[in-house]
Chain A
Amino acid sequence: MATLALKPQKLATAQPKKSRIVLLLLLPGLIYLGLFFITPFAALITTSLQQPVLGGGIGQYQPGLEFGNYAFVVGEYLEQIIRSFIYATVATLLALAFSYPIAYFIGVKARNYPILQGLMLTLVIAPFFISFLLRTFAWKEIFGQDSWVSNLLRDTGLMADNEFLLGTPLVVIFGLTYNFIPFMTLPLYTNLERLDTALLEAGSDLYAKPASTFWKVTFPLSIPGITSGTLLTFIPIAGDYVTASRSFLGSPNTAMLGNVIESNFLRIQDYPSAAALSVMLMAAIVVLVSIYIRRTGTEDLL
């Protein structure tokens, strides 16, 4: 996707003589892509087509063209595949709903108060300084059976005595949203920070209600920010295997695609199935993302 951003045809017409230098400058990037993206990807695809060694032990596979692996994993794990995309969609929407006001406040309202702005940005980024795993473990503690959250819910009658929070889709989606909120807030902030407030004034001068100014002016202008934010959130969430795992906030009921891949790769050592699932996850994300970018009309963004 990085190569798209360079728009080669424009470069070629504007500065035809310097194209060699451009190529030279591109070289490190191309080598990087070749080594760290194309090679592993090719290996992944060949692995996904492997077949078991006849009479071999656990985890023994040989090269093959077993396209049936794909049909097998879809049949076997359809539930988790669908669940992953539902969780990712819900968590992304929630992250957007939380992040938009925050980003708007930091980027627009606090524009004249640089210290406040800096402080708030730090608050958004600060959780990054602590390990992702530790933060998720902290939530495990907070949602535990004897935690104050659970006790409060039980005391207020919102939860029965033998009900619990951990391992429910609710808590997993919460964890996913929480973990990826900064990825949504920051692109939104950089976008809204450049919002021309004169346009908002013009809106109200033309007798638009604040709500319609928002929907007709602010929101369309922030679509590039929303697009990059949702992509940065949706893609990692769809493949996340920590939050929903049994050791953290999840339970077998909340297993996502990432957990299935982990289990196939490390536990059952069924490498072809794990690879087939990974390829499918990538393909599904590429398809969804390209449709999404088409629809939001922000091809220039990438």
Chain B
Amino acid sequence: MKDPNSLPQDPMMAELVKMARRKQLTRRTALAGAAGTVTALGLAACAPASETGETEAPVAAQDLSDTEKILVWDNWTEYMDLSEDETSRPTLERFEAQTGIKVEYLETYLDNDEYFAIVKDQLALGQDIGVDLVCPTEWMAARWVSNGYSQKLDAANIPNKANLAPAYLGASYDPNRDFTMPYQGILGGIAYNKQLYQDLTGKEAPQTVDDLWADELNGRVVVLSEMRDTVGLIALSEGIDIASESSFTEDAYMNIIDKVAGLYADGKIRNIEGNEYTKGFRNGDYVAGIVWSGDVVQMNFSKKTRDMFGFFLPQSGGTISSDVFTVPIGATHKKNAEALINYYYDPVNAAELAAWVNYITPVAGAYDEAIKLDPELAENNLIFPSEEFLSLTHAFRALSPQEEQTFSTAWQRILLGA
């Protein structure tokens, strides 16, 4: 058994756990003891930028924000709060009213790889892709930053950067968050249809990853096509530490790939899907699977499938990552983008956003605001995770370009049935 007071070795995890402990603290005493952290962060923000190592990297475009009060933001779908009648976006409209910046909000960021494949040639030439702000997932953002495709953010324009939860600092590609700022944190875990699971297995709920491969569930289990979550969860269930290079070697990775391929060949895994997997859950095709927490919360909110699904992190561990704000190299409204990032780092706005999108907010202090908004919501583990919950999550380790190539080729081979 683990000592409950010990901190995980991974720095990100250690910080997350510390943050959760602070949450407990504030819950009882409403202590504003974060002042020290704020100062430290302010200092960190002034530290010089790390070298990207690229010699022929494209050059950032000239910023026209002072004359053009516009901003084009391309985000994932269902990733922004909507009013009751679903015709307006309250927090975004308030931003427009406060700053006078007109935001063109697009929802065409559907897939990390696809988006990158579409814009990368323009980015390499330093051209404007017509978008001033995007939110790629951390591992993809690493590629943007290391290729020099992201503009350096000016911390002076984002005073609320001080509210960034310390857990999100220290990423190997951008340790001080000079190029990126987290938008929402994402948990990968296991979801199940409560009724169908009981009907099929006679048990109340699955407990482990291996429970998904029970014979009764043949053909009714889905896993994510996002390699880091599916491989991550299964590797964790085999006792591999996915955050460590020494434990999660290429051999270990390939073993997991073989295992997934075998599970698929045996019909244990019915399909490997991206965001569209929720459809299969809603219509009863899938009884259980490896999914993202936010989707489960949203499915449980919608009328037709209210509270139909359960979500848990297995004792062996779940995955955690985040989508981050970044400004493309050719974008001409960086300052406007910074104003928007600053706006969403205000705990009040962050709490309102988190309440709607149901992912984990990276903004410290949002929890206190959420209690005022909706105490029940603030207690939801999937939005404001408890320390116990967080201690079960692990971040997938950074991959070298060569590993990225081998790992994703092997993963794609499974998706193509080879």
* Residue B117, interface by CB 8 Å: yes
Question: Are B404 and A252 in contact (CB-based, < 8 A)?
Answer: no
1/0 contact string of B147-169 vs chain A (CB within 8 Å): 10000000000000000000000
The answer to whether B272 touches A267, judged by C-beta atoms less than 8 angstroms apart, is no
Give B253-274 as 1s and 0s: 1 = Cβ < 8 Å from A's Cβ atoms: 0000000000010000011111
Report the Cα distance A92→B283, complex, angstroms: 32
Contact B113 A252 (CB under 8 A): no
Instruction: Tell me the B382-412 residues at the A interface (CB within 8 Å).
Output: 401, 404-405, 408-409, 412
Q: Count A interface residues, CB 8 Å.
A: 36
Contact, CB under 8 Å: A266 / B117: yes
On whether A146 and B283 interact (CB within 8 A), knowing A247-B276, A254-B417, A259-B416, the answer reads: yes
Interface positions, chain A 265-291, Cβ under 8 Å from B, are 265-270
Q: Is the CB of A263 within 8 A of B404?
A: no
Is B404 a contact partner of A57 (Cβ separation < 8 A)? yes
Contact of A59 with B by CB under 8 A: yes
Residue of B nearest to A248 (CB): B276
| Closest chain A residue, CB of each to CB of B409 | A268
Which B residues touch A163, using CB under 8 A? 219
B237 sits at the interface (CB 8 A): no
Minimum CB–CB distance from A243 to chain B (whole Å) comes to 15
Check A57–B147 contact: CB distance below 8 A: yes
Smallest Cβ-Cβ distance to A269: which chain B residue: B117
Would you give the 0/1 interface string for A30-58, flagging 1 where the beta carbon is closer than 8 Å to chain B? 00000000000000000000000000111
Contacts of B280 in A (CB 8 A): 144-145
Contact B273 A252 (CB under 8 A): no
Give the distance in Å from the alpha carbon of A76 to the alpha carbon of B412 in the complex.
12
* Beta-carbon contact of A76 and B418 below 8 Å: yes
Q: Which of A140, A145, A247 contacts B284 (CB 8 A)?
A: A145
What is the CB-to-nearest-CB distance from B271 to chain A, in angstroms, rounded to a whole number? 5
In Å, the complex CA distance between A61 and B333 comes to 32
Q: Which of A144-197 contact B (CB under 8 A)?
A: 144-147, 162-164, 166-167
> B119 contacts the other chain (Cβ, under 8 Å)?
no
Alpha-carbon distance between A163 and B219 when the two chains are bound, in angstroms: 7
Interface size class of chain B, counting residues whose CB lies under 8 Å from the partner chain: 35 or more
With beta carbons under 8 angstroms apart, the residue of A76, A167, A260, A270 that contacts B271 is A167
A58 touches B415 (CB 8 A): no
State how many angstroms separate the Cβ of A87 from the closest Cβ of chain B: 13
Q: Does any Cβ of A come within 8 Å of B194's Cβ?
A: no
Q: Does B96 contact A (CB under 8 A)?
A: no
- Measured CA separation A78–B415 after assembly (Å): 15
B218 at interface, CB cutoff 8 A: yes
**Cβ-defined partner of A144 (8 Å) among B113, B285, B408, B409:** B285
In the bound complex, how far is the Cα of B221 from the Cα of A164, in angstroms?
Answer: 12
Which has the most chain A C-beta neighbours within 10 Å: B285, B412, B416?
B416
Residues of B within 8 A of A251 (CB): 270-271, 417
Interface residue? A242 (CB, 8 A): no
A246 contacts partner chain B, Cβ-Cβ < 8 Å: yes
**B227 smallest CB distance to A (angstroms):** 10
B220 within 8 A of A: yes
Contact A80/B408 with A57-B143, A145-B285 known, Cβ cut-off 8 Å: no
Whole-angstrom distance between the alpha carbons of A255 and B416 in the complex?
A: 5
Please measure, in the bound complex, the distance between the C-alpha atom of A164 and the C-alpha atom of B271, giving whole angstroms. 11
Residue-wise interface mask of B (92-119) relative to A, using a CB-CB cutoff of 8 A (1 in contact, 0 not): 0000000000000000000101100100
Complex Cα–Cα for A167 and B270 (A): 9
Closest to B399 in A: A58
Would A162 and B120 count as touching, CB distance under 8 A? no
Contact B276 A266 (CB under 8 A): no
In whole angstroms, what is the CA distance A79 to B114 when docked?
Answer: 25
A171 to B: closest C-beta gap in Å: 13
User: Is B319 part of the binding interface, using a Cβ–Cβ cutoff of 8 Å?
Assistant: no
- Binding site secondary structure of chain A: loop
B330 CB to closest chain A CB (Å) equals 19
| Beta-carbon contact of A266 and B113 below 8 Å | yes
> How many Å from the CB of B183 to the closest CB on chain A?
23
| Contact A252–B416 (Cβ < 8 Å) | yes
Would you call B91 an interface residue if the criterion is a C-beta within 8 Å of the partner chain's C-beta atoms? no
Q: Within 8 Å of chain B (Cβ to Cβ): is A66? A: no
Chain A residues, Cβ within 8 Å of B143? 57-58
Assembled-state Cα–Cα distance A163/B114 (Å): 32
CB of B349 closer than 8 Å to a CB of A: no
**B271 CB contacts on chain A under 8 angstroms:** 166-167, 246, 251-252
From B264, B271, B273, B274, name the one whose CB has the most chain A CB atoms within 10 angstroms.
B271
A167 to B417, CA, bound (A): 12
In the assembled complex, the CB of A123 is this many whole angstroms from the nearest CB of chain B, namely 29
B270-A265 in contact (CB<8A):
no
**A77 and B405 contacting across the interface, CB-CB below 8 Å:** no
Task: Let me know if B322 is at the binding interface, CB within 8 A.
Answer: no
Among A59, A252, A265, A266, point to the contact of B272 (Cβ < 8 A): A252
**A240 interface hit (Cβ, 8 Å):** no
Give the chain B neighbours of A266 by CB distance below 8 A.
111, 113-114, 117
The answer on a CB contact under 8 Å between A268 and B405 is yes
Q: CB within 8 Å of B: which of A207-264?
A: 246-247, 251-255, 259-260, 263-264
Q: Which residues of A contact B146 (CB under 8 A)?
A: 57
Q: Is B7 an interface residue (CB 8 A)?
A: no
Interface pairs (5), CB distance under 8 Å:
A145-B283, A162-B219, A255-B416, A268-B408, A268-B409
* Interface set of A (CB-CB < 8 Å, partner B): 56-59, 76-77, 79-80, 140-141, 144-147, 162-164, 166-167, 246-247, 251-255, 259-260, 263-270
Closest 5 interchain pairs by CB? A252-B417, A57-B401, A145-B285, A146-B284, A255-B416
User: With A141-B283, A162-B220, A252-B264 given, can you name 18 additional A-B contacts, CB distance below 8 Å?
Assistant: A57-B401, A58-B143, A59-B117, A79-B417, A80-B418, A144-B280, A166-B271, A247-B276, A251-B271, A252-B272, A252-B415, A264-B412, A265-B117, A266-B113, A266-B117, A267-B408, A267-B412, A268-B408
